[in-house]
A and B are shown apart, each in its own frame.
Chain A
Amino acid sequence: MQNKKVVAIVLGVMCFALTAGICIQIRTVQATNSSVSNNYEENNLRAEVLRYKERYDNKVEDLANAEEELEKERESATKNDTALKEKEEDILEGNKIIGLTEVTGPGVIVTLSDSKKDASSSLDPSSLLVHDTDVLSVINELKNAGAEAISINDQRIIPTTGIICGGNIIDINGEKVGAPFEIKAIGLPEQLAALDRPGGYLELLRSYSVEANLEKSNNITIPKYTGTITYEYAKAIED
C-alpha cells in the first residue's frame, strides 16, 4: 500500500512536469510564430502571395526559354557575317558581366554567420550579428580584389543591386535572405583571398565576434540574375 502511494506520487509529479512543459511550449509558439493564428484575411493574403510567386516563377522559366531561343536566332542570323558575329560576341560578353547569364570560374566562397556566443555575454549584442554594412563592405573588398561576378546566397549582384537589412533578414534584389550569408566571387583566388590576410576585413569582423570564413575553390558557379533590368529615367546620349 505504501509502495502504491509512492508510485502514484511519482507519476503525478511526472505528469505535472510534462504538462507544464507542453504549456510553456505552446505559449512560446504562440508568441513567436503567427502560423498558429487563423486570421482569415491573413490567410487570403498569403494565398494571393503564393499565387503571384508561382506566376512569377513560371514567367521566369518562360523568359529563360525565350532567351535561349533568342540566342539561337541571333546565332543563325549572324553566321554568315564576321562583323555581325563580333556584335553577337559583345552581346554575350556584356550579358555575362551585367549578370544576365550564369557564369563559372575559380574564386572564393566567404561565409558570414552570427556569433554563437551568448548575447548576454557581450556589452553590445548587436555587434555579434552580421549587418548589411558588413556584407556591403565584404562585397566592396571583393570588387577591390578584382572579383568579376559576385552572389550572396545565390542572388547575383548586378550594377543596380542594393543591400538592406531589416531585423535579422537582409534584402537583396528584392529577395529576403537570412544568415548565414554565403558570398561567392569569381576571380583570381589568391588575390580574392587577400580579404583573409592579417589585418584584413575578415579579421576585423572576427574581432567583433562575427563568424567569418573564406574558402578558395577552382570551380564556382554563380547563377544569373532572375529579375529584369529596365530603364525608366536614364536615356543614352548619342555621340
Chain B
Amino acid sequence: MKKMKKGKITMIITAGIACFVLVLVMTMQFKIVNEADITSIENMRKSELSTELANWKTRYDEVNNQYEETVDMIEEYKNNSESNEETNNLMDSELEQINMSLGKTDVEGQGIIITINETDNEEIEDITADDLLVIVNALKLAGAEAISINDQRIINMSDIVYIDAAKVIRVNGERILAPYTIKAIGDSSYLESSLIGNGGAVDEMRKKEQDVTIEKENNVTIYKYNGDIETKYME
C-alpha cells in the first residue's frame, strides 16, 4: 500500500513538471507571435532588405551632404562675422533655399505637364478634388520638387477641396476650373512612368476613360504662391 502511494506521488510530480514545461513553451511561443512587428526588419525577406538597405544608404548620403553644407556655412559665418555685407549674402543664399521650399519663388526645370479635360459624355465620371489630390500625392512620391495646379502653387499648407454649394474645386482657397493643368518639376521620365504605370493615378483615370494627357518638358516654369504665408498658432 505504501509502495503504491510512493509510486503515485512520483508520477504526479513527473506529470506536473512535464505539464509545467509544456505550458512554459506555449507561453513563450505566444509571446513571439505577439511581438512579431510587421514594420521591423527582423521580419523582412531578402528583396525587401535590399530595398531597405538602398533606402538607408541614400538617406545617409543625403543627411551627410546636408551636414557638410551646414558645417561649411558655420565656417563662412565665422570668417565673415566682421562684414555685414558678407553676412547679408550668406543669409540671402540660405533664404533662397527656404523660399523655394515655401513656394515663394518662381522656379523652372525639367518636368511634366498634365492636362485633364472634362468631357461632355455623361457616362464618364467628372474630375473630382480627390483625383487631383491623388495625382499631387503621386507626384510628390515620385520626387517632384515643385507642383502647381492651374498655376496655383502647391505649398505645405495647400488644400484641394470640392465646395458643394458652389460646385467648384478650390486649391489654396482659389477656385479652379477645367481643363486642369498640373505642372511638376523633377525627373520627367520618372514622374511620367509613376503616373502611367499599371495602377498609377493617371492609369486609373484613363481606365475610366477620363481624358488625361502628359507631356514631358525640358523646361517647366512654376509660379510662386501669391498669398501671404502666415502662422498664428505654432511656436
Contact = CB atoms under 8 A, between A and B. Distances in A.
Interface stretch (B55-63, B118-126, B207-215): B55-63
A46 B42 contact: yes
Contacts of A55: 60
Interface stretch (A66-74, A117-125, A202-210): A66-74
B106 A87 contact: no
Nearest to B30: A25
Contact of B46 (A11, A41, A161, A227): A41
Contact of A236 (B66, B107, B229): B107
Interface residues of B, number: 101
B156 A91 contact: no
A25 B107 contact: no
A137 B101 CA distance: 22
A159 B103 contact: yes
B74 A70 contact: yes
A236 to B, nearest CB: 5
Interface string B56-91: 110110111111001101100110110010011011
B81 to A, nearest CB: 5
A63 B70 contact: yes
Interface string A167-195: 11100001011100000001110000000
A67 to B, nearest CB: 6
Contact of A56 (B39, B43, B56, B140): B56
A203 to B, nearest CB: 15
B127 interface: no
Contact of A42 (B45, B70, B74, B111): B45
B107 A74 contact: no
11 contacts: A25-B26, A34-B42, A49-B52, A59-B63, A70-B70, A77-B77, A90-B98, A104-B235, A106-B233, A148-B234, A234-B185
Given A22-B25, A176-B39, A236-B100, 10 more contacts: A7-B11, A15-B15, A22-B26, A25-B29, A49-B52, A74-B77, A140-B161, A148-B231, A162-B140, A234-B109
